[in-house]
Amino acid sequence: DSGVTQTPKHLITATGQRVTLRCSPRSGDLSVYWYQQSLDQGLQFLIQYYNGEERAKGNILERFSAQQFPDLHSELNLSSLELGDSALYFCASSPGLYYEQYFGPGTRLTVT
């Protein structure tokens, strides 16, 4: 158990809908990362927050947004969902910048 929690574990929704994925980092970790992993694909970095502020942005679509709250938990919002958005979404946390990351169990999103 990495200490990072993600909810929900599974999510099935229809095209055009909007969903919110939630992540609670390990106690004391200030940085949160979001990744997308499609079937048999690598990890695509989406976005990073550090102590409430956006720190780095990767290949995140405009339909996706995220934020980190004062209690350091983070949410990833996915809107106008398309079939191609079906994937495993991982959240990871780290003590600070450039440190090792601890991954949550992921949220499996299925768009039908």
Q: Which residues bind another protein (CB under 8 A)?
A: 2, 33, 35, 42-45, 48, 55-56, 58, 90, 92, 97-106
For another protein, the closer CB: 44 or 79: 44
Cα 8 to Cα 5: distance, rounded to the nearest angstrom: 9
For another protein, the closer CB: 14 or 98: 98
Helix (H) / strand (E) containing 90: strand 87-94
User: In whole angstroms, how close is the CB of 42 to another protein at the nearest point?
Assistant: 5
User: In whole angstroms, how close is the CB of 17 to another protein at the nearest point?
Assistant: 25
SS3 content of the chain, % helix, strand, coil (to 5): 5, 50, 45
For another protein, the closer CB: 6 or 85: 6
For another protein, the closer CB: 45 or 73: 45
User: In whole angstroms, how close is the CB of 92 to another protein at the nearest point?
Assistant: 8
Cα 68 to Cα 52: distance, rounded to the nearest angstrom: 5
User: In whole angstroms, how close is the CB of 27 to another protein at the nearest point?
Assistant: 17
Neighbours of 4 (CB within 10 A): 22
CB proximity list for 40: less than 8 A, separation 6 or greater: none
